[in-house]
């Protein structure tokens, strides 16, 4: 998929996602406003119902518990006409019908006296005076003098209570959209990156195969010439070139097939007791010849007192060889490599340091992934398939070990390989 197409898909999907979320929030807001309006109307009706009930409760109809000692006197102050218990009971009943419990304050306010004379209002006088829920005490007394008012301490929560299911459903689907969008975008980006890595791998592999094939073809053409066949030294020389290039091709093919086996998890380690220092000296000696051609050098500081591990000789040799080869390839001038060993945490740590171009922190996160190659800037002659470090990490972990990287751009890199002493596992395998 082309980059601009992927970008268009992500942008369109992002707008669609934002639009869906915005619509969800809009309808939740509209639902809240509708519930708020219904709640306000219900409270006003409830207050008027309380006033009407108070009017109906004349002395003859009032239950004994609420009854005044004297008949109702319409000219008597309202505080003497209505007992607090009656008012509280009616308020509880009406609020209960609206599923509102004791999360409110209420009171009867005397406008002339500028004071509350009845109700549960202490501590909420200012809120009650500013409350939107007020009604005059019509027919109970002078309607212009007394007001019945109520204030809700958690009005928003009461209104939202009816929307909990709707809000929860909206949030649930929004989360699904977010997760789905993230996974989809992440998957597309990974697929694109993987596609680019595979294309790089194919290009590198084609280049790596093309060179020896061309060399073999050229050497074969030379051997077909009569004048060359008459000269045995040249025949031997071209034949050796063909053998060397064929061996190079075989090694590359085996390396690729080996990675395929690692991906399928079908490889099995042939464990035996090995001297890590011996493996290091052997590979360091082999690398010394290559480094001399580049005016480089390799040094060792093998300080580990215990240096025998249980492992696969071929794979461990390949690990050391690959790390040394990388250190050499990514050191542009006069490579200076150093191998050290120490004992740590019941095992041995092998460190391979170089003075190369180094690896940025961003690339360090991906350097052990399959097919990943670190960008080399102005260095264009570094060959490879992006398989080496993936192979190294897989084999080390199969041995129960760990590989770590310390590097800074321009300051070289240090790969640290930890291998445990798995003598117990080896003994069990032998049994």
d(CA 400, CA 188): 34
H helices then E strands: how many in the chain? 13, 11
177 phi and psi, to 5 degrees?
-60, -45
Dmax (CA) of the chain: 145
Tell me which residue of 254, 262, 258, 273 sits closest to 312, measured CA to CA.
273
Task: Specify which residues 31 forms β-bridges with.
Answer: none
Please name the helix (run of DSSP H) or strand (run of DSSP E) that holds residue 308, with its range, or none.
strand 308-312
265 phi and psi, to 5 degrees?
70, 30
Nearby residues of 357 by Cβ (< 8 Å), 6 or more positions away: 330, 331, 332, 376, 377, 379, 409, 410
Percent of all residues in the chain with a pLDDT value above 90, rounded to a whole number: 13
* Residue 292 CB burial class (10 angstroms; 0-12, 13-18, ≥19): exposed
341 phi and psi, to 5 degrees?
-135, 145
Could you report the per-residue pLDDT of 102-111, keeping only the tens digit for each? 678 998 888 8
pLDDT at 79 over 80: no
Pick the CATH number of 193-264 from 1.10.287, 3.10.120, 1.10.10, 3.40.50: 1.10.287
Q: How confident is the model at residue 77 (pLDDT cuts 50, 70, 90)?
A: low
Determine the distance from the C-alpha atom of residue 187 to the mean position of all C-alpha atoms in its chain, rounded to a whole number.
13
Give me the count of residues in the chain.
431
- Amino acid 178: pLDDT: 81
Nearby residues of 374 by Cβ (< 8 Å), 6 or more positions away: 330, 359, 363, 367
Task: Specify which residues 26 forms β-bridges with.
Answer: none
Average model confidence (pLDDT) for the chain? 78
Averaged pLDDT for residues 98-104: 75
d(CA 403, CA 405): 7
Q: Among 151-155, 242-246, 409-413, which stretch is predicted with the lowest mean pLDDT? A: 242-246
87 phi and psi, to 5 degrees?
-60, -45
Task: Specify which residues 340 forms β-bridges with.
Answer: 301, 351
d(CA 376, CA 363): 11
Q: How confident is the model at residue 204 (pLDDT cuts 50, 70, 90)?
A: low
Q: Which has the higher per-residue pLDDT, 283 or 112?
A: 283
Secondary structure percentages of the chain, helix, strand, coil, to 5: 55, 15, 30
Q: Do domains 193-264 and 271-430 have the same CATH topology?
A: no
Tell me which residue of 41, 42, 72, 39 sits closest to 54, measured CA to CA.
72
**Are residues 87 and 119 in contact, defined by beta-carbon separation less than 8 angstroms?**
yes
Pairing of strands 347-353, 413-420: antiparallel
Q: How confident is the model at residue 278 (pLDDT cuts 50, 70, 90)?
A: very high
Classify 212 as helix, strand or coil. helix
pLDDT at 59 over 60: no
DSSP for residue 146:
E
- Amino acid 376: pLDDT: 52
**Are residues 28 and 166 in contact, defined by beta-carbon separation less than 8 angstroms?**
yes
Q: Which two tokens stand for residue 302?
A: 């093998």
Handedness of CA 300, 284, 378, 407 (dihedral sign): negative
Tell me which residue of 204, 55, 119 sits closest to 133, measured CA to CA.
119
Q: Write down the domain spans for the chain.
A: 3-161, 193-264, 271-430
Could you report the per-residue pLDDT of 119-154, keeping only the tens digit for each? 888 888 899 998 989 888 765 655 567 888 999 888
Q: Which residues of 362-394 are buried (b: 16+ CB within 10 A; e: fewer)?
A: ebbeebbebbbbbeeeeeeeeebbbbbbbbbbb
Could you report the per-residue pLDDT of 353-383, keeping only the tens digit for each? 998 888 888 777 778 776 666 655 444 455 5
d(CA 209, CA 202): 10
Is domain 271-430 annotated with CATH 3.30.565.10?
Answer: yes
d(CA 202, CA 213): 16
Task: Specify which residues 420 forms β-bridges with.
Answer: 347
Tell me which residue of 61, 58, 103 sits closest to 76, measured CA to CA.
58
Tell me which residue of 228, 164, 187, 185 sits closest to 31, measured CA to CA.
164
Pairing of strands 297-302, 336-344: parallel
Cβ of 104: how many Cβ atoms within 10 Å?
21
């Amino acid at each position: 998929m082309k980059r601009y197409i992927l970008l268009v898909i992500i942008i369109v999907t992002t707008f669609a996602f934002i639009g869906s979320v915005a619509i969800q929030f809009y309808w939740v807001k509209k639902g809240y406003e509708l519930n708020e309006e219904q709640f306000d109307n219900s409270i006003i009706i409830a207050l008027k119902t309380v006033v009407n009930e108070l009017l109906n409760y004349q002395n003859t109809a009032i239950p004994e518990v609420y009854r005044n000692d004297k008949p109702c006197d319409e000219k008597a102050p309202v505080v003497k006409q209505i007992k607090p218990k009656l008012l509280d009971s009616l308020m509880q009943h009406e609020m209960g019908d609206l599923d509102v419990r004791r999360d409110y304050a209420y009171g009867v306010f005397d406008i002339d006296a500028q004071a509350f004379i009845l109700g549960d209002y202490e501590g909420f006088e200012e809120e009650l005076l500013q409350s939107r829920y007020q009604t005059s005490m019509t027919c109970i007394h002078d309607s212009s003098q007394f007001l019945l008012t109520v204030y809700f301490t958690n009005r928003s929560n009461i209104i939202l209570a009816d929307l909990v299911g709707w809000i929860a459903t909206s949030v649930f689907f929004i989360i699904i959209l977010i997760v789905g969008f993230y996974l989809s975008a992440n998957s597309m980006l990974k697929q694109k990156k993987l596609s680019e890595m595979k294309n790089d791998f194919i290009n590198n592999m084609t280049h790596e195969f093309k060179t020896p094939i061309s060399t073999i073809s050229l050497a074969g053409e030379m051997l077909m010439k009569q004048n060359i066949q008459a000269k045995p030294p040249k025949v031997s020389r071209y034949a050796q070139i063909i053998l060397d290039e064929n061996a190079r091709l075989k090694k590359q093919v085996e390396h690729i097939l080996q990675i395929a086996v690692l991906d399928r998890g079908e490889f099995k380690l042939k464990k035996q007791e090995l001297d890590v220092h011996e493996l290091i000296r052997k590979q360091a000696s082999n690398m010394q010849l290559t480094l001399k051609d580049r005016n480089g050098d390799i040094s060792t500081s093998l300080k580990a007192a215990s240096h025998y591990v249980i492992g696969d000789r071929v794979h461990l040799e390949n690990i050391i060889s690959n790390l040394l080869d990388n250190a050499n390839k990514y050191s542009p001038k006069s490579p200076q490599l150093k191998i050290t060993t120490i004992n740590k945490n019941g095992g041995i740590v092998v460190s391979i340091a170089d003075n190369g171009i180094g690896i940025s922190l961003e690339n360090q996160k991906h350097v052990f992934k399959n097919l990943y190659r670190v960008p080399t800037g102005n260095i264009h002659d570094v060959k490879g398939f992006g398989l080496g470090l993936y192979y190294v990490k897989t084999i080390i972990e199969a041995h129960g070990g760990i590989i770590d990287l310390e590097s800074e751009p321009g300051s070289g890199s240090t790969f640290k390989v930890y291998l445990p002493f798995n003598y117990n596992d080896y003994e069990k395998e032998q049994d």
